[in-house]
Structure 1
């Protein structure tokens, strides 16, 4: 089981905050540093304000050296697929081949309203996501001399050289790893089967998540893809303490109740958290994304690295 750190900068973070967390993530040996891609805080002013995910990751790419970097999830409503393919390939080059693209249909209406971004209905958002996946991966793998052409209802490409090429070429579709996630019962599993190197369950109840993983596996089988070829993972809020007092302090710092976190997150005392991780590992999941909400509490990450990770089988 690989543990990755996942941050939510729209809740309030500067680039310097993210850099400290990313560098500590790397120093402690976690598998990756991921960030959300949102433009509006949720239940908070999110001061000093939002940061662009790919600009941030470009900076971090030059100020880290080994930790993998990615988004969970870039909204397909935010960027056209051509410029996004270029941005990801650029950051992949800047990082020496350490970037991963998590991408989804988008869901947060208010951030679109407040930053002049169109927000189509659910069907159109998923149609656009499907076309974006086809265009982005098509551009990455296109022969520059032959060109790449795509005709969609929302996005079209004519004879593109598909430049620049990413450093990583060993993903499912010939570029960097692509992550798809969510709990949609039909289109989400189908898109994951067709395009994703990894499928992620976002904050799902454990048993509901198992049902969704089965849908993804069936979707893979339906297109003759080996279900074992797609990694399975979950994102869970992190709240760990050595004592009940420390646990309560960390829960209060993120505005949550201890018992609610114990039920819904990767939360509790160290032995509890180790046991929960084992449960996810036994379900066939290979990675957990630890949603870290208090970016000033680096001791939290140190506790996980020093006391939880050594006990993971």
Structure 2
């Protein structure tokens, strides 16, 4: 089971905060460091010192780490022109020596768009669909050839389709709960299908839907990684779990019901229950970025039991 650390810096974090977590992620043996791609705090609070750009952050971390995978869960199709995003991701992949992954979604948080003057069209799924086709088309065009794209939302003419990533194929992550269109996109473009904060009872059905979508297009479902993301709130005893839940403003019973929460044994059991549903990768959403002891606990007492 891959264990990945997933952060939400829009809630209030500096680059140095993220660097400390990324270095701990690497030193403690976790598989990857991921971050959300948002520009506005959610919920109460001022969000100081303010947002950090996801791909600028990952570029810095690419030079400060050497082993862990780096990526977004997920970038919004509304934030960047796909031609620019393809260049950014390819460059960060080069800077990291081939350790980047791209999570891409349609976007949903209208307030952050209004706050920074970013257009937020009512219908965005078409943007996402064209971006996936366009980005993979740019990366897949052989060096020396040109790439053209004529879509409803984007048009490229005679593009040199450069630069290229180090990886032959940058893994793309697609996620969501839609019953038809999202599974079809995952089957066509994704290396991984992610469910973020699902109700545990919904996971098995969504995995089955995406597997069926793969079969419909002639893809072996075993070539797609299935993952989930849930909040992390672990502790050696109930008091430590309660302290960590309070630190992130969450109710203990709520995080126990859906998250990776409780004693190390409880967290191992929860992750194991997902494994039985076909999940082979989990994202541990870490909300208190200053509590590095939290990561040490999981590395020493959870990861070691999962094998």
TM-score, normalising length: structure 2? 0.98
- Asked if the contact 2:8–2:287 (Cα under 8 Å) also holds between the matched residues in 1, the reply is yes
Distance 1:210 1:139 in 2: 34
Q: Any idea what the Cα deviations from partners look like across 1:48-88, whole Å, max 9, x if unmatched?
A: 00010000000000011111100000000000000000000
- What are the ranges of 5 or more consecutive residues in structure 1 without an aligned counterpart? 170-174
Question: Once the 2 structures are TM-superposed, how far is the Cα of residue 45 of structure 1 from its aligned partner?
Answer: 1.8
Give the Cα–Cα distance (whole angstroms) in 2 for the partners of residues 248 and 219 of structure 1: 41
For 1:147, the equivalent position in structure 2 comes to: 146
Matched, 1:240 2:241: no
Instruction: Please report how far the alpha carbon of residue 282 of structure 1 lies from its aligned counterpart in structure 2 after TM superposition.
Output: 1.3
Runs of 5+ in structure 2 lacking a partner?
none
Partner SS state of residue 289, structure 1: strand
**Counterpart for residue 94 of structure 2:** 93
Measured after TM superposition, the shift of residue 143 of structure 1 is 2.1
Task: Specify the alignment match of 1:138 in structure 2.
Answer: 137
The residue aligned with 1:167 is: 166
Q: Please state if 1:289 is matched with 2:283.
A: yes
Asked if the contact 1:180–1:196 (Cα under 8 Å) also holds between the matched residues in 2, the reply is yes
Displacement of 1:264 in angstroms is 1.3
2:58, 2:96 → 1: CA distance?
Answer: 9
Superposition CA RMSD, Å: 0.8
TM-score, normalised via structure 1 length: 0.97
Deviation, 1:246, is 0.5
Q: Which position in structure 2 is the counterpart of 1:57?
A: 58
- Counterpart-to-counterpart distance in 1, 2:117 and 2:204: 37
Cα distance, 1:269 vs structure 2: 1.0
Q: Is the 8 Å Cα contact of residues 176 and 194 (structure 2) preserved in structure 1?
A: yes
Give the equivalent residue in structure 2 for 1:172: none
After superposition, residues 257-276 of structure 1 pair within 5 angstroms as: 257-276=251-270
**Runs of 4 or more consecutive aligned structure 1 residues displaced over 4 Å after TM superposition:** none
Pairs aligned (count): 306
For residues 148-193 of structure 1, what are the alpha-carbon distances to aligned partners after superposition, in whole Å with 9 as ceiling and x for unaligned?
1111000111121110000000xxxxx2100001111111111101
Name which of structure 1's ranges 26-35 and 274-283 shifts more when overlaid on structure 2.
Answer: 274-283
